[in-house]
Amino acid sequence: MAVITQDQIQKFHEDGFLVLEHFFTAEECDSMRSQIERIVEVMEVPPHCRTQFSTKEDEQLQAQGSSDYFLTSGDKIRFFFEKGVLGEKGNFLVPKERAISKIGHALHAHDPVFKQITHSPKVQELGRALGLERPVVVQSMYIFKQPGIGGEVTPHQDATFLHTEPLGRVLGFWIALEDARLENGCLQFIPGSHTAGVSRRMVRAAPGTLPCVRFEGSEPAYDKSRFVALPTGRGGLILIHGEVVHKSELNSSESSRQAFTFHVMEAKGTSWSKENWLQPTPELPFPSLYT
């Protein structure tokens, strides 16, 4: 059976997103979760690097923009924390496995389990079915969405952070490793919002200036009623067009909403913006999705 039908591809092009339920098996989800537990268990974070992750613009500029730790994480495995979990001296106020917000941005390159998932035959088959000729993996993240404190992700477009010329060349693969429900902050989308261009961009500032990144343009005030919630079962894959507007609410439930996500760019005929915070490095050029 094909990993995706023509009707589903059509639906993706219309909406800018698509859920493929049960794309990954329970065993694959468990292997990712166990691997992350091992990574978190041995994580040692220097206090000055304990960056709290936020998607609110002013906080982003302050915490991440002034942080080399964030800006140089594109080819490494690094740790980012929820708000309010660190004391004044950078000590954990909660167990560290409950403090972490996300791990980024090169699990796909440096960890065997996540590398295997990212380049799995069915992901490659899906890429080919979508017509991707030279897809490369630009970044990956493990998102924890902790119970009770998993912060909201404000409405945004991925192309704000991952800009290409021409637009429309970035595709997100978002894998639910636990059931994502309304209560624990499942993704929400504005259908068809991927056709109106990009409203703001996060760009690198000139070397030596702080903050290290700045925003050009601004996110419009979106009508809340336009968002469609997308509850997704464990193992479900959501395809996310780089320009579709999406968000997730605060996790107010008692269960986490863990996910692994990675972004792919069609490299054929595409230039990656030199102003993007994330840049390929000599140590890690963007690897091909196809092996």
Do the domain assignments include residue 42?
yes
Domain residue limits at 80: 7-272
Tokens of 279: 């840049």
Do the domain assignments include residue 104?
yes
For position 205, what pLDDT does the model report? 86
168: domain CATH number?
2.60.120.620
Do the domain assignments include residue 283?
no
Contact 173, 252 (CB under 8 A): no
> Splitting the chain (291 residues) into consecutive groups of 10 residues, what average pLDDT does each group show?
94 98 98 97 70 66 61 90 78 87 96 98 98 98 92 94 97 98 97 96 86 90 97 98 97 95 98 96 97 93
Contacts of 70 (CB under 8 A, 6+ apart): 51, 63, 64, 78, 80, 277
For position 80, what pLDDT does the model report? 87
For position 65, what pLDDT does the model report? 44
How many structural domains are present in the chain?
1
Do the domain assignments include residue 105?
yes
The answer to whether the pTM exceeds 0.85 is yes
- The DSSP line for the chain is --SS-HHHHHHHHHHSEEEETT-S-HHHHHHHHHHHHHHHHT----GGG-PBP--SHHHIIIIITT-HHHHT-TTSEEEEE-TT-B-TTS-BSS-HHHHEEEEEE-HHHH-HHHHHHHT-HHHHHHHHHTT-SSEEEEEEEEE---TTT---EEEE-GGGTS-EESSS-EEEEEEESS-B-TTTT-EEE-TTGGGS--SEEEEEPPTT-SSSEEEEE------GGG-EE--B-TT-EEEEETT--EEE----SSS---EEEEEEEE-TT-EE-TTSS----SS-PPPBS--
Do the domain assignments include residue 2?
no
Do the domain assignments include residue 291?
no
Do the domain assignments include residue 289?
no
For position 66, what pLDDT does the model report? 47
Do the domain assignments include residue 277?
no
Contacts of 10 (CB under 8 A, 6+ apart): none
